[in-house]
Each structure stands twice: as C-alpha cells, then as structure tokens.
Amino acid sequence: MRMTVPARLVAAALAIGAATTSAQAAERHNGTWSVELVTESGLCDARYTYAVAIRDGEVRALTGDAGTRVSGRVASDGTVGIAVANAAATGTGTGRLDGIRGSGTWHVSSLCTGRWTARRSDARTAQAE
C-alpha cells in the first residue's frame, strides 16, 4: 500500500532553511514554482507534482491538502529548508534553487525518502500578490 499524504506534506512547499540576508537577493527566487517529488524508498507513491509560491524568501503552498502546515525559507544564496506537517506525518526537505530551477532531497518521518526537482513556472505570480 502506498502512502499519499506524507509525500504531499513535503511537496506542498518544497522548494525551501537559512534566514534571508537581503530582501533584494531573496526576490531572485520570488515566483511560482512547479515541484516534482520522486520517491526513492519507502511507502509513498512513486511521483508527485505540486505548485508553490515563493515571496521574499518565504514559501507557501498553492496546491496540497487542507490542514497541512508549511514553514520554510529560501536564503539569498538559494539554500532551501522546509518543514511540513499534518495530522498524519511530518516531513522535511533541503536543497538549493538557482533562480530558474532547483533540486534536493526530502523525507517523511521513517515512511519514505526521495529527491525533488523544481522549475520556475511564472515569476510574476508571487511578486504581484
């Protein structure tokens, strides 16, 4: 049986650690991002795709489950750190964005682990809010 909720926890905001040292540098990552998770081991589904918005170094989910809590940051150098939780599980992810793409790893408790990739899909969406 595959677990869909835990991977959605991580995907809801993957693209996100360290405090932003400059608001101008953080704006480099502002926008809407498409994030794909691939499970490499564990009980999660094989692949997930989600959308997130980054604004001034903070990440928010554009797709995902209700009741999911997301906290994460993108540092000015693109370093990503994220924590995502719901009633079923807690997940974390780390990695790096370069302005138009990114990649890293994720895990959900002891249930599953994998890698993620991200692509900027619309830079204007998050900036205009």
Q: Which CATH number goes with the domain that contains 20?
A: 2.40.128.120
Specify the amino acid at residue 118: A
Please, which residues have CB within 8 angstroms of residue 128's CB and are 6 or more apart in sequence? none
Number of domains composing the chain: 1
pTM attached to this predicted model: 0.74
pLDDT digits (tens, 9 = 90+) for 17-48: 333 344 555 678 999 998 888 999 999 889 88
* CA atoms of 68 and 128, how far apart (whole Å): 24
Determine the pLDDT at residue 79. 95
Q: How much is the pLDDT for 127?
A: 45
Span 38-88, pLDDT tens digits: 999 999 889 888 888 999 999 988 887 777 777 789 999 999 998 887 788
In this predicted structure, what is the pLDDT of residue 19?
35
Q: Mean of the per-residue pLDDT values for the chain?
A: 78
Q: Is the model more confident about 90 or about 103?
A: 103
Which structural domain, as residue segments, surrounds residue 13? Answer: 5-127
